[in-house]
Each structure stands twice: as structure tokens, then as C-alpha cells.
Amino acid sequence: MSHRIVFLDRETLDARLRAPGFPHEYREYDVTAPGEIVERLKDADIAVVNKVPMRAETLRQLPKLKLIAVAATGTDIVDKAAAKEQGITVVNIRNYAFNTVPEHVVGLIFALRRAIVPYANSTRRGDWNRSRQFCYFDYPIRDIAGSTLGIVGYGALGKSIAKRGEALGMKVLAYDVFPQDGLVDLDTILRESDVITLHAPLTPETRNMIGRAELARMKRDAILINTARGGLVDEAALAEALQSGTIGGAGFDVLTTEPPVEGNVLLDLDLPNLIVTPHVAWASKEAMQILADQVVDNIEAFVAGQPVNVVE
């Protein structure tokens, strides 16, 4: 039996995708608009997607579809209840970003705590040329060693970041909805952390989990980092907090709507204590190749009748 595999947004994965080891037909599209999904998948039994939404009304029009292989960890693009009802298996990618996401988080911590970006920009503007002294102190610089790192979401990524934080001399606090030894509550994270980094999935329960009330409980010089999912933080509340000095800074790799074609309140700000990157924390060359290999591993396991990394 030959399987028909269609990758709807190949442009999202900058890595080599090996051919599966079973009879198959393969087609890929760089980009797929919502209105093109059904036509492109009408004869497919395996769909590979990264960010293309697979909603209930779409799935109902795809009776041949048996597997959605998400080329990412997050699966909020898929209506999983509808997929289950239709007998469609959903699989995702796991444990590929142990280095790339933690390194991005650490990079943001250094950039924000040590004001690297505003000092580099001010030097480029000529501020150093005009300085009366050999240096100037326009932006506060704070040490990382001795500070407290609060991790919200203490799964594999959270633990990997904790190890790096400890290696840098940080005190680590962690919170998770799943009980584990040594965890603290969210309020402790908010009150005691100098850096808070989010690693929770986006669910109805976690949407806007950091809003005005939570930001107000943070230290005035604390920084908030989100490399997990847009929507975990109320972006309008964060913009207000940054402008008013409620918190010390923020580093975001994700926004509620991506790409932000209609703009975003955070992108409207020109602040020295805000860094926004375009959802690339996961995207080291090494990590993308691991991801690509696991996409094919997942498909091969499903075809062999032993599916892995199944998302319920």
C-alpha cells in the first residue's frame, strides 16, 4: 500500500527531510492558505503541518486523512477533539529544543539584565563620542549571578533552563500545574524572581495567565521572558507595565498573532528594555534537523502500526 503525504508549509522548516522508508507519494507546498487546505489534502492520508490551522470544518472535508504530523511541539493549530472523533491521529515533536530554546532564553537574560542592546544602539548613535567620561550609565546594568530565576512550566525545557541558570549562579524557583518535588506557587515566582521565563502550553486555562494583576506583583526591576506561546501574557497589560516602570523589561519570541500582519501593541513600542524576536528561539540549524528527522520517525512509526508522540 502506498501512502500519500502532503507537507502544507514546507517553508517553515529549513532542514533536509529524508524520504520515509515505505511506499509513498510525497508533495510539498511552501505555503498553504486556509482556503487551499482541502484541495491539497483531498487525496492524502498523511498531512505534515507546522502552522497551518486544521480546524473541525476542514477536517470534516478530509475523510481519507489518517495522520496529522505536526512539525512542532505545540498543537494548538489542530482541533484535536474533532480529529479524535474522525479517527485522525495527531503526533507532535518532542525533546528537540533542549539547547536552542534555553540558549535563546539565556541570551535574552544577558541582553536585558546587562542592557546590551540599548548600549550598542546608543554607541551607534554617537553617544559615546559625546561622553564626558570614559563610559556612561544611561541604562542600568544588573548581574545575573546572585539573581533569582523563576520558571513557569517545569517540564523538559524548564529543567534544561534551570541547569543553565544554576550554572550562572542564579537561584532557581519553579512552578508547574503538575505536582513535583521542590516546586513553589505562582505567587512566589512573581514576588521573588528577578527573571521570570514562561514555558507553559497555551490552553484556555493559561491564556493571559500573566495580566495586570500578575505584572503588578513582580519586582519593579524584574524581566519577563516568553519563548513559549503568544497569548500566555496580556500584551496590552505588558505594554502598560513597561511604559510605566511596573517591571524592568521583557524579552518575547512569540506574539498572540503570528505573523503580526495587523501590528501588535508590543511592536509599537520603542523601549530600551524590550526585545522582540520573530519566533526563532527554536530555530538553530541543529534543532531544525533533529525536528525534521523526528517528523519522519513519527510518520514511519504510525505506518508501522506503532505510533509515537501521540497527542490526545
How far apart are alpha carbons 71 and 77 in whole angstroms? 11
* DSSP result, 48-85: EESS--B-HHHHTT-TT--EEEESSS--TTB-HHHHHH
Q: C-alpha grid cell for residue 167?
A: 550554572
Tell me how far apart the alpha carbons of residues 269 and 239 are, in angstroms, rounded to a whole number: 8
Out of 40, 104, 113, 279, the active site residue is 279
Q: Are 189 and 154 in contact (CB under 8 A)?
A: no
Q: CB within 8 A of 214, min separation 6: which ones?
A: 186, 190
- Could you list the beta-strand ranges (E) of 186-263: 195-198, 223-226, 249-252
In the residue annotation, 3 being an active-site residue is answered as: no
Catalytic residue among 104, 214, 229, 235: 229
Neighbour-count burial for 276-290, b at 16+ CB within 10 Å, e otherwise: beebebbbbeebbbb
104 is catalytic: no
- Tell me which residue of 157, 163, 74, 104 sits closest to 282, measured CA to CA: 104
Residue type, 202: L
The C-alpha torsion from 74 through 76 and 78 to 84, rounded to 10°, is 90
**Is the torsion defined by CA of 201, 203, 206, 212 positive or negative?**
positive
* Residue 36 among the catalytic residues: no
Residue from 60, 258, 262, 300 carrying the catalytic annotation: 258
* Spatial separation of the C-alpha atoms in residues 203 and 296, rounded to whole Å: 27
Which residues are annotated as catalytic?
229, 258, 279
